[in-house]
Structure formats: structure tokens, C-alpha cells
Amino acid sequence: MYELMIHLDNNSKKPLYQQIYQYVREQIEDGKISCGEKLPSTRILAKHLQVSRSTVELAYEQLLSEGYMEAEKCRGYYASDISKLYLAGEKRDREMGLQDFPRKKKDSYEIVFSPDGNEMGYFPYNAWRKLSREILSADNPEPFLSGEPAGEWELRRAVCNYLYHARGVNAVPEQIIVGAGNEYLLILLAQVLGEKRKVAMENPTYLKAYRTFCNVKYEIFPTGMDEGGISMEEIKRTMPDIVYTMPSHQFPMGTVMPLKRRLELLNWAAGQKECYIIEDDHDSEFRYKGKPIPSLQGNDRWGSVIYIGTFSKSISPSVRVSYMVLPEKLLDRYNKNCGFYSSTVPKEQQMVLTEFLARGYFQRYLNRMRGVYKGKHDFFLGLLRREKWVKNIYGDNAGMHLLVEVDTDLRQEYVVSRAKEKGVLVYTLEEYQIPGSKIEDNEYPILLLGYGGLSEEQMVQGVGLLREIMEEKTCLAEK
């Protein structure tokens, strides 16, 4: 960081050092100065603000004493990790005279049962760092040049090879489109398929996809599900021209679509004019029981399936690399409508990922994480099965979350609210329902509990706190 744009009011009753202190503290709290970011030296900041160096030193001393920054000998000042500092009390504010500057309150939870949680403790940092260093250390301008709009050829070939062996996807590299996230690819796809489309979506569903379809002005048909997945009866009744489905592991229900339903869906789509199935292969890599479920696209003989997947779950959330496999009959339309767009994934990252796949690092990491997540899954499942308040568990043996039907008279909203008060963030099945739609009311609340990013100790603590809530029999809970 080279300088800080601090507006100092010389006419204010607050001393200049307090104004500097207040500004830096709020910037750190709001994340505008991130953890580990270097701050200007007292000499440089004093010169920039045209104040005495002792004024800046007073402000820095206060920030150091409160833990907002750290000083490293011969290196300078750095912003601290303040995740545990939000309980700084009113006494400090009174002493500093800051009562008239209300601080922004931030929700902070000790345990977050998020379905998006990842375990990053086993990530092959050395391998990733080695590949990055190799690509950037040579005097080669290639990583900094413009890349191919659909993604670098070598990466598309590596993805193509992986999908064939791991998911049974039949494609050639020309059919692979690489982009930064599934939502971007859906926006791109809308420009390929055109306007005024009607989309049948499983309900409940992945709501980011729903919102993306809404943004491109597609008409949405919330479609019910049974034990075999999306309802063919409702599809035949509404007659959409796009079906968005997650057949290998439906989110959030965890349903696996059987072969009979898959063939029925494929045959129906093949019999319609300009009808496509979008197969979102949601966290299909993580299955802990039974044989791997092959992709729907692998059984498609008519070019009706558009396959979408991502590395965000299997590698890291920050690796915003998703891929879409277009049927060959849509390639000319893609090249005409979207072929001039620049790739949204940096070329350097594509080159690193290509080597990560080609040299076997990805497969080894994935195999290891399957074992890690299976261990978490089995431990969490065992915990829940011992709880009296757990009536039923759904969606087990795959993915990174479980659906838990709660045997309680407490209202669902009360359970979620009390959990937050205890520092636990839980989700409900209702949160993934398409807005404005109706699904069959359940007699008991259903919680969606993710475990991928939690340790065993956190699982035990979180389940224990939920148990305390369920045992609050004296609450005047409304039915």
C-alpha cells in the first residue's frame, strides 16, 4: 500500500491522530484493508497527510495495542486478522471519544453448516506453487498474451480427457467452452440458444442458476420431483424447450436419477424441436457408496444435452474455472454469437490448471479428498444418527451436505434464529425453493447441514448446540 486517502478535518474537536486511527480501523474492519496488507510507514503517511510524524505514530500505537495491526522488525506495519476482535467494547470507544461514529456490525458465527464449505488443509500448495513458478519464471510472454475465447486448447483437451474417463462424457476439445463460473456460462449459453426460452427447473434447486435464467428473461417452470428426480409428467404438461437438471446428485435433495428416467428424458427431448437438456453435474466427484454415476450426456445420441461442470468444488472455490460441453450442432451458433468474446479466465491460471491436470496432480488430490470427505461424511452421519431430535436423514452417501428432518414442535424459523444466537448458522430446505412456487409442506422442519468445511470438533460442537435448542421444551413455539 502506497498511501491512504484520509480526509483530516483541522476544525474538528477530535485530534488528528484519532481521525487517522478511526479511518484505518474502519478500513480494516470493512475489509478494505485486508489481512496481511502492508500499511504505509509513519514517515511516508505523515508526509502524504502533511502532519507531524508523531501524530501518525500515536494513531499507529493505538491500532497496535488493540490488535488491528502488527509491526514486523525491519519490514513495517501490516493489517492483522481481526476476526476475533469484533467484541471490542464500548469502554474503548468512550476512551477514544468515538460514540458518534457507530461501527458496522458484522455477523460472525463460530460454526457454519454451509453446503459450499471446502476443506483446504490438504490442498497441494507446493505443486500449485511449483507449476506457477515454472510458467512464470521463463522469459516467455505467453502467459500474458490474449488467449482463445473458448479457453486455451491444451486446457480444453485436458478437460475433455478428464470428463471422458471420469464422467463418461463424449466430446472433442472443440466442444469445450471454458469460463469463470457456471453462471457466466449460462449467460453465454442464453446468447447461443436465443431469447424467449421456457425452462423447467427442479424445485427446490440451485438458485443462482434460477436467478441467471430470470436475468436473461427466460420463463421458469418450477417442476416437482419424486424419488427418480424431475417429474416427466410435469415436463410433458408444461412443454418447456430447456430442462435444467442435476441427474447425478441433485442439489439440494441429493436425488440420483435412475437410468429409466434418464432415457425417458432423453427420448422426450429428442422428439421436440430445438429442445435441450442442461446437465449441471453438481459435485458428482464426491460419491461415497456404490458405483460412480455416469453423466446423462454420455447416453445422449441426439445432441440434446449441454453439460456443465466446475473445478470450484473439486479443487478450490477461488479456481473459478467452469466448463460447458456444447452439442456439435450448436458450435456454429456459438462461434457466430459469442466467438468474439475474450476468455474470462486468466491465461496464466489456465496454463497452471492444464499442467495440474496433465501431470496427475489433480487426480491424486481428488482421490485424497474423496477419502477426506468420506471420513467427514461418515463421522457427521454417525453423530446425527445418535441424536433423538433427528427423525430422518436424506441425501447421504454423496456430496458435502445432508438434509435432516427434525422431530420437534418448534417452528423452523425459531430453530434457525436460536441457532444464530448460539453462533451456529444453519440452512433450511425452504431457502432453496424457487420464489413464488409451492412445494408440498413437510410436517417437520428440514435443515440443510453442510459439513465439507468443518472439523470433527466443530461438528460435535454444532450438533450439541442444536440439541440444546431442540430440548427447549418450555418455549412457547407456535405450530
Residue 234 belongs to domain with CATH number: 3.40.640.10
Cell numbers found for residue 57: 505514530
Q: Are residues 336 and 350 in the same domain?
A: yes
Is a pLDDT exceeding 60 seen at residue 329?
Answer: yes
Give the dihedral of Cα atoms 90, 94, 99, 104; nearest 10 deg. Answer: -40
185-217 tens-digit pLDDT: 999 999 999 999 999 999 999 999 999 999 999
* Euclidean distance between CA atoms 113 and 100, whole angstroms: 36
Q: Does 476 score more than 60 pLDDT? A: no
pLDDT band at 437; cut points 50, 70, 90: confident
One-letter amino acid of 69: M
Q: Does residue 4 lie within any of the structural domains?
A: no
Q: Are 303 and 331 within 8 A, CB to CB?
A: no
190 inside domain: yes
For the range 232-236, what are the long-range contacts, defined as Cβ-Cβ under 8 Å and sequence gap of 24 or more?
232/261, 232/264, 232/265, 232/268, 234/200, 235/200, 235/265, 235/268, 236/268
- Please check whether residue 109 lies inside any domain of the structure: no
Query: By residue range, what is the domain housing residue 415?
Result: 364-470
CA triple 100-102-104, angle to 5 deg: 165
Residue count (the chain):
479
Kindly state whether residue 114 falls inside one of the protein's structural domains: no
Phi, psi of 215 (to 5 degrees): -65, -30
Of 325, 360, 395, the last residue of a domain is 360
What whole-number distance in Å separates Cα of residue 52 and Cα of residue 377? Answer: 58
Segment 452-468 mean pLDDT? 95
What are the residues whose beta carbons fall under 8 Å from the beta carbon of 123, sequence distance 6 or more?
Answer: 315, 316, 365
Rounded distance between C-alpha atoms, residue 210 and residue 207, angstroms: 5
DSSP state of 441: P
Output the pLDDT for position 105: 39
Question: Tell me, what CATH number does 28's domain have?
Answer: 1.10.10.10
Share of the chain above pLDDT 70, in %: 92
| Run of H or E including 28 | helix 16-29
Alpha helices by DSSP H, 98-145: 125-137
Q: At what angle do helices 412-421 and 456-470 cross, to 10 degrees?
A: 130
Listed in sequence order, the DSSP H helices in 168-206 are: 182-193
> What is the domain count for the chain?
3
Q: What is the pLDDT of residue 83?
A: 63
Encode pLDDT of 88-144 as tens digits.
443 344 444 444 433 333 357 899 999 998 999 999 999 999 999 999 987 888 999
What are the phi and psi torsion angles at 463 (to 5°)?
-65, -40
Looking at the DSSP bridge assignments, the partners of residue 78 are: 38, 70
- In this prediction, residues 257-269 reach a mean pLDDT of 96
Per-residue confidence (pLDDT) for residue 92, from 0 to 100: 43
The pLDDT value recorded for residue 88 is 43
**236 and 318 belong to one structural domain:** yes
Residue 441 lies in a domain: yes
Q: Do 207 and 86 fall into the same domain? A: no
